[in-house]
Amino acid sequence: MASMIIRRDAYLRAAQLFHWATRDHYVEWFTGEVKRHRRTEVMLPRLVKQGKLRVKKYGKKYVYSAPRRVKGMKKPLIYHGLGCTEGLIRMAWSNRDCTIIPERMFKGMGNVPEWGIRYNHGKLLLYEFSTRSNFELGVVMNKVKRYQATLPSIEGRFKGEALVLFVVDVERDRLQTYIEKKHPDGPYFFVDYETFTSVPLGKQLDAKIYLWGEDGQPYSLKNDGLEGH
């Protein structure tokens, strides 16, 4: 049976959800795996030529973004953007029974996560990606403190109890020590980026890798986060 052709509009909708994305990210988003995908190889350059996507060389790869994300930006935060997209794809494939909430929907609410997901059982997952430099500047705990004030309004607007996941690009033992020292109280889970991306696609919610701020112990978001605590 021939595979279904992915329409142009589907690429444009994905681009609006993504921050920065590689070709492999688009292939994973549509197919659930990284492989040669002729449609994507043709479509992305075509959308760039039509002005619907922006492209930049990043290392040995090309990365793509919706024009609105780079408008007026002198130095695009490509690494940060790739971390946001990586998390979205992994979480979306872990439970397809959900609605994705783009970053722009949180504007004016005090905290603006990279994206959110509302599951059909009513829970909300808010995603925060932190680079090493942001972590060292204290950005993570500053966001936690703001969430303590803004979560009720976010939960009210999107009609669900929220969990905030911080994916941090530092060593796991360093992150664990940090959590044990700061002891953030509330629905806050933390994981290092290396461990996060080592989990097979589709298993993100089941993996027991997320450190709960209140006790620093590892939990599964499915069993102990989104359906517990």
State residue 220's pLDDT score: 95
State residue 227's pLDDT score: 61
State residue 224's pLDDT score: 67
State residue 202's pLDDT score: 92
State residue 102's pLDDT score: 94
The Cα 180–Cα 214 span in angstroms is 8
Task: List, as one string, the DSSP characters of 27-88.
Answer: HHHHHSS----HHHHHHHHHHHHTTSSEEEEETTEEEEE-HHHHTT-SS--HHHHHHHHHHH
Pinpoint the residues of the chain covered by CATH 3.40.1350.
81-225
State residue 2's pLDDT score: 42
Pinpoint the residues of the chain covered by CATH 1.10.10.
8-74
For 81-225, which CATH class? alpha beta
The Cα 126–Cα 134 span in angstroms is 18
pLDDT in 10s for each residue of the chain, 229 residues:
345 789 999 999 999 999 999 999 999 999 999 998 999 999 999 999 999 999 999 999 999 999 998 877 778 899 999 999 999 999 999 998 899 999 999 998 888 999 999 998 889 999 999 999 999 999 999 999 999 999 999 999 999 999 999 999 999 999 999 999 999 999 999 999 999 999 999 999 999 999 999 999 999 998 766 664 4
Fold of 8-74: Arc Repressor Mutant, subunit A (1.10.10)
State residue 71's pLDDT score: 79
pTM metric for this prediction: 0.93
The Cα 17–Cα 58 span in angstroms is 20
State residue 3's pLDDT score: 56
Task: List, as one string, the DSSP characters of 8-34.
Answer: HHHHHHHHHH-SSEEHHHHHHHHHSS-
